[in-house]
Amino acid sequence: MDDMISKGYNHYLAAFDVLLPALFSAYETASDSLKRTLAEPVRILREWDRKSAIHSVATSLAVDWGTRMLMRLPRAKSAEESTYQTQRVATMLKTISNEEIIRLLEQSVNNMTVNYGTWNIEWGEINRYQRPANGVYDDNKPSLAVGQTSSNFGQLPSFVSRPMNTKKRYGYSGNSFIAAVEFGPKVKAKTIITGGQSFDPDSSHFTDQAQMYIDGRFKDVLFYKEDVLKHAERTYHPGE
C-alpha cells in the first residue's frame, strides 16, 4: 500500500512534456527584446524536472502559463469530447501561433510581478491550504504551503487553487478523500482527507489531516472492533 500511495503522490506533471517544447520553439522565434525579457523564466523552465514542489519557481511559472494555454483549448462539442484532454491539447498546439504562446508567457510574468512583486516566487509561497470556518480566505491568517497542482497537468492528487479575493491562491477543489485498500484474510486500508473529520473549528480534528494530505502521509483505517477500542478517544452509549 505504501508503494501505491507513493506512486499516487508522484508530482510529475506530464502535460508539460507536451506544452513546454512548444514554448521553447516559440521562444526561438521571438524578437530579440522579448527574448531578453523572458530569458531567465525560459531558462528556469528548461532546467525544471517537471515535478511540482513547494520550493519550485518553475512550478509557479508553469502553472500560470499552462492555465492560460489550456484556456485556448478548442470548445468541446459534447460532454464526452470534453474528457479527451490529450487530443484537445494536441489540436490546440497545431493551431495556436508561436506569437500567442510566447505572449501568454509574457502575460504570466507580468501578472505575477504585479500580484506578488516578482515573477521569481516559489510555488508554496502562493499556493496555500486554508480552511476558514466562515468561508472567507485571508492572506494574513495561518495557511499551509502546498506543492500539488490541478490534475489538468497530469497529477494525482489534485489540488486546484485560485485567488479568493486574495493575492495568494487557495485550494477549493480536487481530491477530498483518497483511500488505498488491500484485500486479504483481513482488510487493510489507509486513507486521508484534505482537512479533518470535524466541522467544528474548535476541534483538534478540524485540520489535523491537512499536512498529512499535503505530504502523502495516510492514516490507518480501523476496521475491526479491537482496533477501534484501542484508539478510542472516548466511549458512550447511544442516547447518552
pLDDT of residue 115: 94
Confidence of residue 74 (pLDDT cuts 50, 70, 90): confident
193 by Cβ neighbours in 10 Å (0-12 / 13-18 / 19+) ranks as middle
**How does pLDDT run across 119-175, given as a tens digit for each residue?**
999 999 999 999 999 999 999 999 999 999 999 999 888 999 999 999 999 999 998
pLDDT of residue 81: 77
The three three-digit cell numbers of residue 45, written as one number = 523552465
Identity of the residue numbered 149: T
Q: Which of these ranges, 7-16, 35-44, 230-239, has the smallest mean pLDDT?
A: 230-239
For β-strands 169-174 and 127-129, DSSP reports them as parallel
pTM: 0.89
pLDDT of residue 99: 95
The three three-digit cell numbers of residue 36, written as one number = 531578453
Ranges of each domain in the chain = 2-172, 176-231
Do residues 182 and 1 touch, judged by C-beta distance below 8 A?
yes
Q: What is the mean pLDDT of residues 45-51?
A: 97
Q: What is the CATH number of domain 2-172?
A: 1.10.1400.10
How far, in Å, are 9, 39, 48, 235 from residue 240 at the CA level? 42, 68, 58, 10
How far, in Å, are 183, 217, 221, 226 from residue 187 at the CA level? 5, 19, 9, 14
pLDDT of residue 239: 75
54-68, 88-102, 143-157, 182-196, range with greatest mean pLDDT:
54-68
Around Cβ 13, how many Cβ atoms within 10 Å? 26
The answer to whether residue 240 scores a pLDDT higher than 80 is no
| Cβ contacts of 202 within 8 Å, gap of 6 or more | none
pLDDT of residue 237: 82
